[in-house]
C-alpha cells in the first residue's frame, strides 16, 4: 500500500471562486512528460474552474429540489439487469421517466432551473459499471422529427460506412449492407469547417430538431458531470466548445443484415500508441437514443452489453467508480470482478503502476476514504507494442484474479492492425467471459442508454428483420490527463 491522491502530483493554487484557478505541475510530472517527449517543446493543459462548476451545479440542484413540482429524486427504479448469465430483453416502460417528461412539457418557468433528465440511481448504475436504461426518455415529437431527419439525410447520401475501423471495412470485407453506417457531426476535430458540418450543418435535413436534441443532451451532460463527479465532462466557460468539440453526436443506421462486433468505446491513452497522449479529450460516457417504433425482439438488432453481474458489483460495494480514477483510466478488474484496476503513468519514478482503491476507515486525525493499493510488483514501462498484457507486471497474489478489459481478443476494433487475428462478428456474438452478464436492450423508440465508455464491452446483434435500425448515438468527452503538443 502506498500513498494516494491527486495532491501528490498536482498542487492547486488560487481560491475556490477563481474560475481560472491554476494547477501547478510539480517535478514528478515533468519527468514523465520528458519520458514521453524526449525531443521537442511541450504544452500541458490541466482542467480548471472545477470549483465554479461544482458550485453552480449545487445551486441548480438546490433550486430544483426545493421546487414543489420537481420530480422526486427517490422515484422507483427503472434500471433492469439480467440476474443470471442467461440473457434478458429489456422492454419495460418507466413511470419515473414519464413523470420527468410530463413535468417537462407543462412546466412554464423552467428557464433557470431545468428538471433532471436522469435520477441518482442512474448515476449510481453508471458508476458501478452497469447500463442505465431509460425507456420513453425522448419526447415523441423529437422521436418522429429526428427519425425523418435521419431518413432524409440517408437518402441524400450523408451517411458513411463505419464498422469496427476503416481498415476493418477493407480488410474484413465489410459492406454497406453488412455494416453500420453513420452520419457524423461535432466532436473529434476543430475549426469552422468541422463544427458546421454534420450535426450542426443548417443547410441539410432538419436543423431545428437536431439543435433541440443537442440542447437536451447538453443538459444531460451537465447532470452527468455533477453526478459522476467528472468536472471536465461539462465546462461551463466553454459553451461553444462543449457542444462542438467535446461531444460526438451522430445518427447510426443499420440495414437488414448489419451488425457491429464486440468492442469498448475508449481505451487508456497509453494503450493507443503514440497518438494516445496527443488528444485533448477522451470519450467518457456513451449514450444511445433509439428511434424505431415498436421494435420486436425477432427483428434482431439488440444492443448486447457485458456488464459485471450484480453479485460482482455488490462484492465491494461502491469502493471505486469504474472507468477512471483521478484521471487514470481503468485497464482491468481483480478479485472476481469486484475491483477496477487503474493504470497510473505518472509515478514519481517516471514509469507506470497498476492499482486498485481500498476503503480505509476513519482513524484519529484521519477521515475515512480511499487509498491506492499498488498491485504491480514494481513500476514498469508499458510495452509500446500490441498486444499489451498487464498480468506479468502484477503481484503473484492478484495475477490470477486479474481480467484485462482492453485486449485484442475481446475488442477487435482496438486490435487494429495487430498480428492477432480479430474474431469475426459471428464468433464475437457468442463470446463472453464467464463472469459477465449478458444484457440485451431492444432499440425501441425513445429509449436512452448510458454507460461508462472505458469499461463496458458491447456489440450490436445482426438486424434480422426487414426494416432499418435507426439511432442517435454519441459520446460525451472529458479532458485527457494532459495533452502533449509537438
Question: What residues make contact with Fe ion under the rule CB under 5 A?
Answer: 265
Size of the site for ligand AKG (CB under 6 A): 9
- Which residue number places its CB atom closest to ligand AKG? 303
Cβ closer to ligand AKG: 81 or 295? Answer: 295
Say how many residues make up the chain.
486
203: cell is 443547410
Q: Which is nearer to Fe ion, 265 or 462 (CB)?
A: 265
471 interacts with ligand AKG by CB under 6 A: yes
Q: Give the shortest CB-172-to-Fe ion separation in angstroms.
A: 17
CB distance 103 to 115 below 8 Å: yes
Residue 174's SS3 state is coil
CA-to-CA dists, residue 172 to 175, 386, 419, 424, angstroms: 9, 20, 14, 8
Name which of Fe ion, ligand AKG, none residue 303 binds, using a CB cut-off of 5 to 8 Å depending on partner kind: ligand AKG
Closer CB to ligand AKG, 29 or 455, in the complex:
455
Residue nearest to Fe ion (CB): 265
Q: How far is the CB of 180 from Fe ion (least distance, A)?
A: 10
**Shortest distance, CB of residue 264 to ligand AKG, whole angstroms?**
9
Shorter beta-carbon distance to Fe ion: residue 134 or 471: 471
Q: How far is the CB of 469 from ligand AKG (least distance, A)?
A: 7
Q: Residue 252 binds which one of Fe ion, ligand AKG, none, with CB within 5 to 8 A depending on kind?
A: ligand AKG
Residue 303 near ligand AKG by CB under 6 A: yes
Nearer to Fe ion, 265 or 339 (CB): 265
**Residues in contact with ligand AKG, shown as a per-residue x/- string from 281 to 300 under the rule CB under 6 A:** -------x------------
Nearer to Fe ion, 265 or 269 (CB): 265
User: For residues 235 and 222, what is the distance between their CA atoms, to the nearest angstrom?
Assistant: 9
Single out the residue of 332, 246, 254, 242 nearest to residue 291, CA to CA.
254
By a kind-dependent CB cut-off of 5 to 8 A, residue 460 interacts, out of Fe ion, ligand AKG, none, with ligand AKG
Closest distance to ligand AKG from the beta carbon of 390 (Å):
24
Q: Rank residues 398 and 449 by Cβ distance to Fe ion and give the closer one.
A: 449
Residues near 481 by beta carbon (within 8 Å), at least 6 away in sequence: 269, 327, 328, 345, 346
| Residue 428 beta carbon to ligand AKG: minimum distance, rounded to whole angstroms | 12
The residue from 125, 252, 321, 447 that contacts ligand AKG (CB under 6 A) is 252
Strand partners, 439: 88, 305
Q: List binders of ligand AKG among 6-65 (CB under 6 A).
A: none
**CB of residue 183 to ligand AKG, shortest distance in Å:** 12
Helix (H, G, I), strand (E, B) or coil at 327: coil
Q: How far is the CB of 455 from ligand AKG (least distance, A)?
A: 14
Neighbours of 40 (CB within 10 A): 8
The gap between the terminal CA atoms of the chain, to the nearest Å, is: 36
Single residue of 473, 478, 479, 480 touching ligand AKG by CB under 6 A = 473
Q: How far apart, in whole angstroms, are the C-alpha atoms of residue 479 and residue 283?
A: 9
Q: Which of residues 431-460 bind ligand AKG (CB under 6 A)?
A: 458, 460
- 167: part of which helix (H) or strand (E)? helix 166-171
C-alpha cell at position 240 = 461553444
Q: CB 216 → Fe ion: shortest distance, Å?
A: 21
By the rule CB under 6 A, 131 interacts with ligand AKG: no
254-273 mask for ligand AKG (x: CB under 6 A)? Answer: ------x----x--------
Query: Using CB under 6 A as the criterion, which residues of the chain lie in contact with ligand AKG when the complex forms?
Result: 252, 260, 265, 288, 303, 458, 460, 471, 473
Amino acid at each position: 500500500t502506498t500513498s494516494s491522491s491527486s495532491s501528490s502530483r498536482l498542487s492547486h493554487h488560487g481560491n475556490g471562486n477563481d474560475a481560472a484557478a491554476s494547477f501547478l505541475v510539480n517535478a514528478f510530472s515533468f519527468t514523465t512528460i520528458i519520458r514521453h517527449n524526449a525531443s521537442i517543446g511541450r504544452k500541458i493543459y490541466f482542467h480548471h474552474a472545477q470549483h465554479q462548476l461544482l458550485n453552480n451545479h449545487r445551486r441548480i440542484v438546490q433550486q430544483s429540489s426545493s421546487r414543489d413540482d420537481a420530480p422526486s429524486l427517490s422515484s422507483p427504479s427503472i434500471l433492469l439487469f439480467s440476474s443470471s448469465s442467461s440473457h434478458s430483453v429489456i422492454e419495460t416502460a418507466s413511470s419515473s421517466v414519464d413523470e420527468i417528461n410530463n413535468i417537462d412539457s407543462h412546466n412554464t418557468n423552467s428557464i433557470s432551473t431545468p428538471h433532471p433528465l436522469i435520477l441518482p440511481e442512474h448515476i449510481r448504475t453508471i458508476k458501478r459499471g452497469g447500463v442505465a436504461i431509460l425507456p420513453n426518455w425522448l419526447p415523441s415529437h423529437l422521436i418522429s422529427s429526428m427519425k425523418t431527419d435521419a431518413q432524409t439525410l440517408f437518402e441524400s447520401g450523408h451517411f458513411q460506412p463505419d464498422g469496427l475501423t476503416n481498415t476493418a471495412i477493407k480488410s474484413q470485407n465489410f459492406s454497406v449492407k453488412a455494416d453500420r453506417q453513420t452520419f457524423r457531426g461535432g466532436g473529434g476535430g476543430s475549426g469552422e469547417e468541422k463544427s458546421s458540418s454534420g450535426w450542426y450543418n443548417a443547410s441539410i435535413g432538419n436543423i431545428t430538431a437536431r439543435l433541440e436534441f443537442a440542447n437536451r443532451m447538453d443538459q444531460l451532460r451537465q447532470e452527468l458531470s455533477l453526478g459522476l463527479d467528472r468536472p471536465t465532462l461539462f465546462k461551463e466557460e466553454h459553451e461553444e466548445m462543449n457542444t462542438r468539440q467535446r461531444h460526438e453526436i451522430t445518427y447510426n443506421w443499420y440495414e437488414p443484415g448489419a451488425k457491429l462486433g464486440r468492442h469498448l468505446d475508449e481505451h487508456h491513452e497509453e494503450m493507443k500508441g503514440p497518438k494516445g497522449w496527443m488528444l485533448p479529450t477522451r470519450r467518457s460516457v456513451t449514450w444511445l437514443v433509439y428511434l424505431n417504433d415498436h421494435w420486436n425482439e425477432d427483428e434482431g438488432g439488440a444492443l448486447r452489453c457485458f456488464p459485471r453481474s450484480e453479485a460482482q458489483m455488490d462484492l465491494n460495494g461502491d469502493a471505486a467508480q469504474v472507468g477512471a480514477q483521478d484521471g487514470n483510466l481503468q485497464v482491468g478488474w481483480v478479485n472476481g470482478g469486484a475491483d477496477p484496476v487503474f493504470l497510473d503513468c505518472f509515478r514519481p519514478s517516471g514509469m507506470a503502476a497498476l492499482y486498485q482503491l481500498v476503503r480505509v476507515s476513519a482513524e484519529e486525525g484521519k477521515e475515512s476514504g480511499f487509498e491506492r493499493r499498488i498491485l504491480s510488483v514494481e513500476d514498469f514501462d508499458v510495452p509500446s507494442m500490441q498486444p499489451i498484457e498487464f498480468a506479468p507486471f502484477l503481484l503473484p497474489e492478484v495475477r490470477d484474479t486479474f481480467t484485462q478489459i482492453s485486449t485484442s481478443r475481446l475488442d477487435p476494433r482496438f486490435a487494429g492492425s495487430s498480428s492477432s487475428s480479430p474474431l469475426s462478428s459471428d464468433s464475437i456474438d457468442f463470446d463472453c467471459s464467464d463472469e459477465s452478464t449478458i444484457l440485451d436492450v431492444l432499440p425501441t423508440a425513445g429509449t436512452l442508454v448510458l454507460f461508462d465508455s472505458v469499461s463496458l464491452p458491447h456489440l450490436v446483434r445482426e438486424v434480422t428483420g426487414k426494416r432499418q435500425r435507426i439511432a442517435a448515438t454519441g459520446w460525451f468527452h472529458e479532458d485527457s490527463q494532459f495533452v502533449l503538443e509537438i
